[in-house]
Homo-oligomer: A and B are copies of this chain.
Amino acid sequence: MNEHAHISANLSKNQLLVMDALTNSDGPLSAYAILDQLCDQGFRAPQQVYRALKKLVDFNMVHRLESLNAFVACRHPGREDHETLAFMICENCGQVSEFTDNLLSKRLQHLTGAAHFVLNKMTIEFRGICINCHST
């Protein structure tokens, strides 16, 4: 199965609802924010959200922002390198931009390789002020 094999059509009802909530959101959402949004669609308990999120993260359709305890729909351009995604998170407007960089990936691979560290997951998150917010 390749990386974005799980197109929307393959998602279950709840997975689709959670995915839509994230896709239609400007920025990251907490699990409980998603739960609130989906009350009208019959959601009652956090497990319904967390279970859908777990699958969507497995499918690489959603990313968890560890420093925010929140989730974003995957929006990164191209799909070549899911392993070394990084995020810039604006602490003013909440916008998250997702990016990859080849030199960064290479260097990180070198560093973990040199330490003989078998990498499972990488978290790279920058917190700060985005260009729109500090220019005004």
Contact = CB atoms under 8 A, between A and B. Distances in A.
A69 B128 CA distance: 20
A120 B118 CA distance: 29
Interface string A91-115: 1000001010101100110011001
A118 B128 contact: yes
Nearest to A120: B128
Contact of A127 (B91, B97, B103, B123): B123
Contact of A120 (B116, B123, B129): B129
A24 to B, nearest CB: 25
A121 to B, nearest CB: 4
Interface residues of A, number: 34
B111 A101 contact: yes
Contacts of A103: 107
B112 A126 contact: yes
A120 B129 CA distance: 8
29 contacts: A66-B66, A66-B67, A66-B125, A67-B121, A86-B111, A88-B115, A88-B117, A91-B120, A99-B111, A104-B108, A107-B107, A112-B126, A116-B130, A116-B131, A116-B134, A116-B135, A117-B128, A117-B129, A117-B131, A118-B128, A118-B129, A119-B128, A122-B125, A122-B126, A122-B127, A123-B123, A123-B124, A123-B126, A124-B124
